[in-house]
Amino acid sequence: MTPVPTGRPAEIEAVPVRHPGRWVAGAVVLLLVTIAVHSVATNPRFGWGTFGDFFFDRRILHGVVVTIELTVISMVIGIILGVLLAVMRLSPNPLVAASSWTYVWLFRGTPVLVQILFWSFISALYPRISFGVPFGGPELLHGNANAVITPFVAAILALGLNEGAYMAEIVRAGIISVDEGQTEAAHALGMTRLQTMRRIVLPQAMRVIIPPTGNETISMLKTTSLVSVIAYSELLYSAQLIYSVNYRQIPLLLVASAWYLIMTTVLSIGQYYIERRYSRGASRNLPDTPLQRLRRTVFSFRHASVPGASGEGR
Amino acid sequence: MNNDTMVCAEEVRKSFGRLEVLRGISLEVRPSEVLCLLGPSGSGKSTFLRCINHLETIDGGRLYVDGELVGYRQSGDKLYELRDSEVARKRAEIGMVFQRFNLFPHMTALENVAEAPVRVGGQHRNEARTAARELLGMVGLADKENVYPAQLSGGQQQRVAIARALAMKPKLMLFDEPTSALDPELVGEVLDVMRRLAQEGMTMIVVTHEVGFAREVADTAVFMDRGVVVESGTPAELFAAPRHERTRAFLSKVL
């Protein structure tokens, strides 16, 4: 080792390690993808023409809107119910806590498809629905169950009540994750249990609650397709209605799948940015967004092609 | 019980399961007195402190703050538990500072200080923020009002925590090892604030290992071990001439 006269060691200019294995693996993947794409594009049975004809069909678009409606309303019900159930579960009153536990046990323990069917057949159980004083007291409101519980209401009830059970567990995990010292500090300042929950614990629990809630929303979007069994015209059922007439099942299922993919992709992107926002305060350095990463990769490639520069994209 | 006491403990007992943590603690704190609780870990000093604002319930004996029972109401010879809201109202009159600061991480320093006066004290938001600004200035953090706790040093966080406790204008301040989680060079700034508070006449109970602080600021030093008060007196008496072997043994290790 000869010391550099300036007193500062020279910049490192090393030959990077070669990775022939990576090139081989890349070539194999590329080949397989080419085969798959070629097969999908040239197999006439996929019916890409029909796919194009129906992609923006009025009935399909209506199904997309209904699917979004079902997802949003069910998630809102699920989240409100979940917070309520989670707070109940942590109540010092054993009866309140037990009723929350029982709810979760029942709605998480039976398939959501069965629950959807149950709600749609509710009129067999209670032909007349009324609100009033129980045990023979006066009635305030009443109606025929078949008129009140439309397929839409049955779908919302089934999906929302089922989601509430899952959200309850997510919210509970979030609440438990908040340090006990926070509750103590709030109590020591004279805040009541309710104030402490609302002002101190829940806002901090959000960081733990948000990511799985995003997953639940994406999952809900796909679960709405189960509502097709009670003949409610969401996206899948709309596609089914069309192919029951023209018998082009494959292209129409592809149309539905493509729309589901588009919607889940949009939700995933939204989820990414919401999570990033809520990780503020937890970590000082935020990870790059995909766009920033792409820009940096391109930049570093350009750099690597300059002779003498060393540096390989991570 | 003397009416001129801020805190009065009579034979206070407390167990966690089968472990008896407090085995009959009796002591008195007069208004404007600074009392330092010393003793080895596990001696029950922190537990006793937490009993004073009812974060822990006591199993036996009586505990009074400003002449009123802590956590209960006595009618005849019967005790009635206080409601959640009544307990909360009494806690609001007692400030507490924790070993691990326990600042609210989702709020700025100013919001931390102004939260309780608005939510608990019913103060107007702007009024509370003005008062909070003044308190932050008093602990030397006027320039940090919009900073989140994670961006503050331990010493700064603990000073915000003291300001937060003072915002409710407490008649009594409890300090639970306020400097134990701090880097050595940050201990001084927190002790300075506490010293100033003592000079202004605040009644304080301080659980601490800072013998220097106790010697200088405390009116009374109490040595606890295994759930009992071994001895108490002025710091001069206790540190210079401990009467009990256990006190001597402890002091020889920390001095």
pLDDT in tens, B78-112: 999 999 899 999 999 999 999 999 999 999 999 99
Residues in A touching B112 (Cβ below 8 Å): none
Q: How far apart are CA A151 and CA A233, in angstroms?
A: 9
- Per-residue CA distances from B3 to A101, B6, B203, B233 (Å): 50, 8, 15, 21
Q: Is the pLDDT of residue A299 over 90?
A: no
Residues in A touching B161 (Cβ below 8 Å): 185
List Cβ neighbours of A160 (8 Å cut-off, separation of 6 or more).
A73, A74, A75, A76, A77, A78, A81
Q: Residue A231: helix, strand or coil by DSSP?
A: coil
The pLDDT confidence band at residue A4, using thresholds 50, 70 and 90, is: low
Question: Could you count the other beta carbons within 10 Å of the beta carbon of residue A5?
Answer: 6
Residue in B closest to A204 by C-alpha: B106
pLDDT in tens, B124-159: 999 999 999 999 999 999 999 999 999 999 999 999
Phi, psi of A310 (to 5 degrees): -115, 150
- Are A190 and B104 in contact (CB < 8 Å)? no
Q: How far apart are CA A97 and CA A118, in angstroms?
A: 26
Dihedral angle, C-alpha A246, A252, A253, A254, nearest 10 °: 150
Percent helix, strand and coil across chain B, each rounded to 5?
A: 40, 25, 35
* Of A269, A88, A69, A278, the residue nearest A167 (C-alpha): A88
Q: Is the pLDDT of residue A295 over 90?
A: no
The pLDDT confidence band at residue A292, using thresholds 50, 70 and 90, is: confident
- Per-residue CA distances from A31 to A25, A26, A35, A40 (Å): 10, 9, 6, 14
pLDDT in tens, B109-121: 999 999 999 999 9
Q: How far apart are CA A311 and CA A308, in angstroms?
A: 10
pLDDT number for residue A206: 87
Stretch A27-55: mean pLDDT? 93
- Are A190 and B85 in contact (CB < 8 Å)? no
pLDDT number for residue A313: 40
Q: Which residue among A188, A191, A199 sits closest to B96, beta carbon to beta carbon? A: A188
Stretch A16-42: mean pLDDT? 93
Which run of H or E residues covers position A229? none
Judge whether A285 is closer than 8 Å to chain B, CB to CB: no
Rounded percentage of chain B residues whose pLDDT exceeds 90: 91
Strand partners for B19: B16
Q: Is the pLDDT of residue A165 over 60?
A: yes
The pLDDT confidence band at residue A15, using thresholds 50, 70 and 90, is: confident
List Cβ neighbours of A76 (8 Å cut-off, separation of 6 or more).
A160
Phi, psi of A243 (to 5 degrees): -75, -15
Q: What value of ipTM does the predicted structure carry?
A: 0.94
Q: Is the pLDDT of residue A285 over 70?
A: no
Q: How far apart are CA B74 and CA B92, in angstroms?
A: 21
Q: Is the pLDDT of residue A2 over 80?
A: no
pLDDT number for residue A307: 47
Judge whether A203 is closer than 8 Å to chain B, CB to CB: yes
Stretch A108-134: mean pLDDT? 87
Higher pLDDT, A141 or A107: A107
Q: What is the mean pLDDT of chain B?
A: 93
Which chain B residues have any C-beta within 8 angstroms of a chain A C-beta? 53, 55, 84-85, 88-96, 98, 100, 102-106, 115-116, 119-120, 148, 150, 161, 164-165, 168
Stretch A105-119: mean pLDDT? 95
Mutate to test the interface with A, among B49, B112, B120, B164 (most CBs of A within 10 A): B120
pLDDT in tens, B36-64: 999 998 899 999 999 999 999 999 999 99
Stretch A115-144: mean pLDDT? 81
Q: What is the mean pLDDT of chain A?
A: 87
- Are B95 and A281 in contact (CB < 8 Å)? no
pLDDT number for residue A314: 39
Q: How far apart are CA B212 and CA B83, in angstroms?
A: 41
The pLDDT confidence band at residue A149, using thresholds 50, 70 and 90, is: confident
- First vs last C-alpha separation in chain B: 35
Q: Is the pLDDT of residue B31 over 90?
A: yes
- Are A199 and B148 in contact (CB < 8 Å)? no
List Cβ neighbours of B21 (8 Å cut-off, separation of 6 or more).
B14, B15, B44, B47, B227
Residues in A touching B85 (Cβ below 8 Å): 192
Judge whether A191 is closer than 8 Å to chain B, CB to CB: yes
Q: How far apart are CA B48 and CA A52, in angstroms?
A: 76
pLDDT number for residue A308: 44
**One-letter amino acid for residue B196 of the chain:** R
Mutate to test the interface with B, among A189, A197, A210, A284 (most CBs of B within 10 A): A189
Stretch A50-68: mean pLDDT? 94
pLDDT in tens, B191-227: 999 999 999 999 999 999 889 999 999 999 999 999 9
The pLDDT confidence band at residue A136, using thresholds 50, 70 and 90, is: confident
Judge whether A200 is closer than 8 Å to chain B, CB to CB: yes
Stretch A93-114: mean pLDDT? 96
Q: Is the pLDDT of residue A61 over 80?
A: yes
